[in-house]
Structure 1
Amino acid sequence: MNNSSGDATHFALVAHDARKDEIVDWVGLQLAHLSRVQIFSTGTTGSRIKQTYPELDVTCLKSGPLGGDQQIGAMICEEKLDALVFFVDPLSPMPHDVDVKALTRLATVYDLPMACSRSTADLIVKGLVDGDDYTPV
């Protein structure tokens, strides 16, 4: 999605249970930048972000295992997102691992910038929120 028209930037923020604290902390570190972003997030992650930072524009979707991952996947397919930040817990077995794989596959298919760690999330914010409009070549 190219925002040269001046539209808001749209990010999806998702985190596995073991990384929810980390994504909430990361949002706090990026608060000045994310205040200019429309955030879509799966249920619990979004609720925690919204509760901690009520000044942010956060739309909470369903919980990941209850369809939130699919809602974000649909937004990717409809090209309604500019980036996906998904703090994945690689050390715990996930009962809904197929949903996770589907999301990362869609982000790859649609060439959507995706971060699974703090450092890559920082780079996406720097490039898409702070930087010039990004248009894939």
Structure 2
Amino acid sequence: MPSKPTLALIAHDAKKDAMVEFARRHLDKLEDFNLVGTGTTGGRIQEAFPGLEITRLKSGPLGGDQQIGAMIADGKLQGLLFFVDPLSPMPHDVDVKALMRLALVYDLPMALNPSTADILLRSARLTGLKTSSQTPEVGTFAS
């Protein structure tokens, strides 16, 4: 595992401003993570905070969701912040559901809105990973 835990940042179009605002409020905490983001979300965060390192993957509908899913399955991701817009139709809804399913299967800490993401960033489950080199097995819970 890298010296810093890896956190994925994804936001549907109507939630990208909320993700950028979340990053602004938590800039100091986000610097403690290796950040990855889907194309546009990563680009918006990078543009707003040029000093914050974020690896940009493909756009969600073009494979970015699957790239993050593969990171989950490979144990390379320790948390997922996915600001979902439940009121807009998503042409790649199947991809989104598959990504959420993987997060559930691998017991990955996941936040779907800013309120839960605030809590997740303060949680011992995510922040405790900074000093732990153990990744829980699928279907088990870390205490």
- TM-score w.r.t. structure 1 length? 0.91
Following TM superposition, by how much is the alpha carbon of 1:129 offset from its aligned partner in structure 2, in angstroms?
Answer: 3.3
Please list every run of 5 or more consecutive structure 1 residues that lacks an aligned counterpart in the other structure: none
Question: What amino acid sits opposite 1:65 in the alignment?
Answer: P
Q: 1:15 and 1:85 mapped to 2: Cα distance?
A: 8
Q: 1:54 and 1:82 mapped to 2: Cα distance?
A: 23
Q: Which residue of 1 aligns with 2:115?
A: 119
CA displacement, residues 47-89 of structure 1 (integer Å, 9 cap, x when unaligned) = 0101111111200000000000000000000010110000000
Indicate conservation of the 8 Å contact 2:5/2:129, yes or no: no
Choose which of 62, 66, 72 in structure 2 pairs with 1:66. Answer: 62
- Partner SS for 1:48: helix
Whether 2:23 is the aligned partner of 1:24: answer no
Indicate conservation of the 8 Å contact 1:40/1:46, yes or no: yes
Identity %: 55
Map 1:31-50; keep pairs closer than 5 Å. Answer: 31-50=27-46
Q: 1:68 and 1:129 mapped to 2: Cα distance?
A: 25
Paired residues, what number?
133
- Partner SS for 2:50: coil
Question: What amino acid sits opposite 2:59 in the alignment?
Answer: S
- TM-score w.r.t. structure 2 length? 0.87
Please list every run of 5 or more consecutive structure 2 residues that lacks an aligned counterpart in the other structure: 137-141
Q: 1:112 and 1:52 mapped to 2: Cα distance?
A: 27
Q: Which residue of 2 aligns with 1:76?
A: 72
Q: Which residue of 2 aligns with 1:99?
A: 95
Q: 1:76 and 1:57 mapped to 2: Cα distance?
A: 20
